[in-house]
Structure 1
């Protein structure tokens, strides 16, 4: 599938993807509940979810925790990285377990990532380590002043 190509989804794919986003219950057998809602078996839902995951259409299934409420600190980081250092710097950034996103952008600051840590000291250690990486010319730490959380869901079935 090319970068701009839309995936081929049949109606069952759409039903499963929709249900995983909107109807995933925190119960002992959530896939059985989804199956009952869309008129199939638990095994069929699990099988299709595994195939959609293998195709890269499902990135992850899991809880979204409020890290601030749990006492964690985070920041968005913008890096100015030399072109020939992109991959080595990405490896350094991605080695930290607190990095949740890392992506390239056009412009002077061409690599951006988010980092979460248990306290300011640990977050600063990540930032200092990244800043010291060969090829990093500048680092901007942009912690959120106010959070506006949005729920991103993709409606895939009518109604």
Structure 2
């Protein structure tokens, strides 16, 4: 990865993570800060997305303050049913993450929807369609951390 990112990429990634301008033309603002054209910023972002270094650019909302309910879920899915089960989960409204792990409970996902009743409804439907049990683990307390990768210091590693 070190060889794929030049200094401009590194600074741009730090801006995208930590100080994306809240303006009508955020990419133009970033370009001005970097001393390049807006088109170059957009090309760099597209390249980094295509290489898988950027998954998405977007806001992170506090779902509970917006009145939503969420839960972390785990399932024990037989190996030969993982892909089909993942497809079912990914079709559900409100699934934000879906992971495969090496554990008895090998499929994990988060579900965020309008109400606790909707959480229960969707998980019950998933259990009925998949024939598998879903373990729901709503947070009792949320500990938020700020994750930011200092891209300019990557060469020090």
Could you state the TM-score of these two structures normalised by the residue count of structure 2? 0.90
Q: 2:10 aligns with which of 10, 14, 31?
A: 14
**Which residue is equivalent to 1:23?**
19
Q: 1:105 aligns with which of 98, 101, 104?
A: 101
Aligned residues: 153
Question: Which ranges of 4 or more aligned residues in structure 1 deviate by more than 4 Å?
Answer: none
Could you state the TM-score of these two structures normalised by the residue count of structure 1? 0.89
**Which residue is equivalent to 2:32?**
36
Is this contact kept in 2: 1:74–1:123, CA < 8 A?
yes
SS at match of 1:132: helix
**How well do the aligned residues superpose, as a CA RMSD in angstroms?**
1.7
CA distance in 2 between counterparts of 1:53 and 1:117 reads 28
CA distance in 2 between counterparts of 1:6 and 1:122 reads 44
**Structure 1 range deviating more: 48-57 or 86-95:** 48-57
Instruction: Please state which structure has a larger fraction of its residues in helix.
Output: 2
> Residue 14 of structure 1: CA displacement?
1.4
CA distance in 2 between counterparts of 1:29 and 1:49 reads 15
**Contiguous gaps of at least 5 residues in structure 2:** none
The aligned runs of 1:69-108 (5 Å cut-off) are: 69-108=65-104
> Residue 29 of structure 1: CA displacement?
1.2
> Residue 115 of structure 1: CA displacement?
0.1
> In the TM superposition, what whole-angstrom CA distance separates every residue of 1:99-150 from its partner, at most 9, and x where no partner exists?
00000111111100000110112111111122223362x3210000011111
**Contiguous gaps of at least 5 residues in structure 1:** none
CA distance in 1 between counterparts of 2:130 and 2:29 reads 51
